[in-house]
């Protein structure tokens, strides 16, 4: 919005400093001020799961002039490295978060000003913001100390065993002493297990000094004896570090993967396996491989075509109260990259032909390994495919990603001896497919029917090239 005379407008991320005041005659008791603009370049949320970002490198240096839309800094999110652009023209006055450092989403990572006169002021503000977090942390121990010093409150006094009707439980020796000292045993409070009256309790009630023989039983279970046990258990829990070992902090991507895996534990899942004959698939692959088609693209296409017939397997349940039938079939495929794992998404995989799908997949893999994927290219999946067959893995179970209904794990194709209904033996290639699904919305019969459809497509793959 353009500025009116004597008026400046700015966004909510704008920090201000007062300039000399201007007095208006109509309102002699009020002072209005024109404010200088110091805009913040903040850490953007590059994905729905991103909580903090790491500065890979600053493209611009302090003092450089910037134009709106120009890339300023490269940020590592939980899935990719992305250029962050400026929304304003101005001068990069101060870098708040340096290369290699992290900052939470929404935090200021740099300061932008309009004129050179404001650079010094912006640098002072950056220095102040950098030193301010140290003050609360230094004061934290002293503030927390009074909370730790008071001992825990004593336990409430035990309710007297004489309250209300009860059955008197006493040792034979205690009953004998009660008769001897003419003590009503019903009025004696027992100190033994479950209120059991001991001889020492009777002697105390009678006002007689307890004898050594009577005192010894309650004193014998000395509480000091078991105390070393908890300490030794606590000590054994903290294992000593192995000599030569080193602690490696998670990268941003590894932290995101760990967070997603922990979230997946809250979803009730089940797994169904299915053997699929792959002779026809192998023949098709040998035919289309020279044209640049990959096995992963073929499997993704087959899964997408099966999902068309079984939309519940493509559904999503996020809150446990309802679920959504997704209108698009977006097949995410797990890819191992340096330092983590990412799932590029083949959007509308059922609508693309096999050759276009393979081309799209190659582009996504290149961008993933260069950490240049855009958020919609890795967080829009509705079904996930994980293929370890190229590594010779026979079978494995995959963990369901949060926000999806199912994930398919594909193993290697192996020659297998089979017997037909007439008792004749033959050798055919088979692969094991395991699907992990959200049992809140997908049931065993749903998954079995989906796998049967997938198997028919793989065993008769002509429809994949149409």
Encoding tokens for residue 311? 């939309």
Q: Indicate whether 27 pLDDT > 60.
A: no
Whole-angstrom distance, CA of residue 152 vs CA of residue 143:
18
Given 162, 189, 205, which residue is the final one in a domain? 205
Q: Do residues 188 and 201 touch, judged by C-beta distance below 8 A? A: yes
User: Within this chain, do residues 291 and 403 fall inside the same structural domain, yes or no?
Assistant: yes
pLDDT recorded at residue 2: 44
Query: Which tokens belong to 122?
Result: 């912006």
Domain contains 117: yes
Per-residue pLDDT at 194: 67
What confidence tier does 145 reach under pLDDT thresholds 50, 70, 90?
Answer: very low
Q: For the domain that residue 62 is a member of, what is the CATH number?
A: 2.40.50.100
Q: Which secondary structure element, helix H or strand E, spans residue 120, and what is its range? A: helix 119-131
Task: Using alpha carbons, select from 382, 363, 347 the residue that is nearest to residue 294.
Answer: 363
Residue 92: strand pairing partners: 112
For residue 414, what is the DSSP state? E
Residue showing tokens 């008791």? 29
Alpha-carbon gap, residue 153 to 160, rounded angstroms: 20
**Is residue 426 a part of any domain in this protein?**
yes
Residue with tokens 């990719």: 80
Is 197 found in the same domain as 273? no
Tell whether 318 and 394 lie within a shared domain: yes
- 191 phi and psi angles, rounded to 5 deg: -110, 0
Which is nearest to 344 in space by CA: 331, 325, 357? 331
Q: Under a CB-based contact definition with an 8 Å cutoff, are residues 429 and 279 in contact?
A: yes
pTM of the model: 0.59
Residues 428 and 359 placed together within one structural domain of the fold: yes
Least confident of 78-82, 260-264, 308-312: 78-82
Structural domain count of the chain: 3
Q: Taking the mean position of all CA atoms in its chain, how far away is CA 304?
A: 28
The lowest-confidence range among 11-15, 97-101, 313-317 is 11-15
Check pLDDT > 80 for residue 8: no
Q: Provide the residue range defining the domain that includes 290.
A: 268-464
Backbone angles phi, psi at 67, to 5 degrees: -115, 150
412 & 284 share domain: yes
- Predicted local confidence at residue 317, as pLDDT: 92
**CA angle (406 as vertex; 405, 412 as ends), nearest 5:** 170
- Do the Cβ atoms of 165 and 143 come closer than 8 Å? no
Average pLDDT over residues 304-314: 96
Note whether residue 187 is domain-resident.
Answer: yes
Tell me: pLDDT of 278 over 50: yes
Q: Residue 124: what pLDDT?
A: 82
139 pLDDT exceeds 70? no
Same domain, residue pair 450 and 303: yes
Q: State whether 317 and 458 are in the same domain.
A: yes
According to the model, what pLDDT value does residue 208 have?
74
Within-domain flag for 146? no
The answer on 310 and 185 residing in a single domain is no
Residues 362, 442 within the same domain: yes
Q: Which of 23-27, 180-184, 186-190, 298-302 holds the top average pLDDT?
A: 298-302
- 276 and 369 fall within a common domain: yes
Q: Which of 72, 97, 129 corresponds to the end of one domain?
A: 129
Residue 440 counted as domain residue:
yes
Q: Are residues 331 and 456 in the same domain?
A: yes
Q: For residue 19, what is the enclosing H or E element?
A: strand 14-22
CATH at residue 373: 3.30.559.10
pLDDT band at 168 (very low <50, low <70, confident <90, very high): low
Among 205, 226, 254, which residue terminates a domain?
A: 205
- For residues 30 and 301, the model is more confident at 301
Report if residue 120 sits inside a domain: yes
Nearest to 100 by CA among 252, 235, 272: 252
Residue 156 resides in a domain: no
Residues 114 and 181 in one domain: no
Whether residue 143 has pLDDT greater than 60: no
- pLDDT mean over 397-422: 92
Specify the pLDDT at position 359: 94
Examine the pLDDT at 18 and tell me if it is beyond 50: no
Q: Which residues are catalytic?
A: 439
- Average pLDDT for residues 280-286, to the nearest whole number? 94
Q: For 177-230, write each residue's pLDDT tens digit.
A: 888 878 888 888 888 776 778 888 888 887 776 655 444 444 444 444 445 445
Percent of the chain clearing pLDDT 70 (strictly above) = 76
Q: Is 145 inside any structural domain? A: no
Tokens of 343: 């799932």
Helix (H), strand (E) at residue 436: strand 425-438
């Amino acid at each position: 919005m353009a500025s009116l005379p004597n008026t400046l407008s700015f966004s909510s991320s704008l920090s201000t400093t007062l300039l000399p005041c201007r007095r208006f005659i109509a309102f002699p008791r009020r002072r209005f001020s024109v404010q200088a603009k110091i805009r913040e370049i903040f850490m953007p949320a590059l994905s729905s799961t991103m909580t903090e970002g790491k500065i890979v490198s600053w493209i611009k240096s302090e003092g450089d002039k910037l134009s709106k839309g120009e890339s300023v800094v490269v940020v590592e999110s939980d899935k990719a490295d992305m250029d962050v652009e400026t929304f304003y023209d101005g001068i990069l006055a101060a870098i708040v978060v340096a290369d290699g450092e992290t900052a939470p989403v929404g935090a200021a990572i740099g300061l932008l000003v309009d004129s050179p006169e404001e650079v010094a002021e912006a640098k002072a503000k950056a220095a102040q913001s950098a030193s301010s977090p140290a003050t609360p942390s230094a004061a934290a121990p002293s503030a927390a100390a009074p909370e730790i010093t008071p001992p825990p409150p004593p336990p409430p006094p035990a309710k007297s065993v004489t309250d209300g009707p009860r059955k008197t439980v006493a040792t034979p020796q205690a009953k004998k002493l009660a008769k001897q000292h003419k003590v009503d045993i019903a009025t004696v409070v027992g100190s033994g297990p479950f209120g059991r009256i001991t001889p020492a309790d009777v002697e105390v009630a009678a006002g007689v000094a307890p004898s050594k023989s009577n005192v010894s039983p309650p004193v014998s279970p000395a509480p000091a004896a078991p105390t070393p046990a908890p300490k030794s258990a606590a000590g054994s829990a903290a294992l000593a570090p192995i000599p030569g070992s080193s602690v490696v902090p998670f990268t941003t991507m590894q932290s995101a993967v760990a967070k997603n895996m922990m979230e997946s534990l809250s979803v009730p899942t089940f797994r169904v396996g299915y053997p699929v004959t792959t002779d026809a698939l192998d023949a098709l692959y040998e035919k289309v491989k020279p044209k640049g088609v990959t096995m992963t693209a073929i499997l993704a296409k087959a899964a997408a075509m099966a999902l068309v017939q079984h939309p519940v397997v493509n559904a999503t349940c996020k809150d446990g109260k309802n679920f959504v039938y997704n209108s698009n079939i977006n097949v995410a495929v797990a890819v191992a990259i340096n330092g983590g794992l990412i799932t590029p998404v083949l959007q509308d995989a059922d609508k693309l032909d096999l050759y276009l799908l393979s081309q799209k997949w190659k582009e996504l893999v290149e961008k993933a390994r260069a950490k240049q994927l855009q958020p919609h290219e890795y967080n829009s999946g509705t079904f996930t495919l994980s293929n370890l067959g190229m590594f010779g893995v026979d079978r494995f179970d995959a963990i369901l990603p949060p926000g999806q209904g199912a994930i398919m794990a594909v193993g290697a194709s192996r020659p297998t001896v089979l017997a037909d209904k007439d008792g004749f033996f033959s050798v055919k290639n088979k692969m094991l497919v395991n699907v992990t699904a959200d049992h809140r919305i997908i049931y065993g019969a749903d998954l079995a029917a989906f796998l049967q459809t997938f198997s028919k497509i793989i065993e008769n793959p002509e429809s994949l090239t149409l």
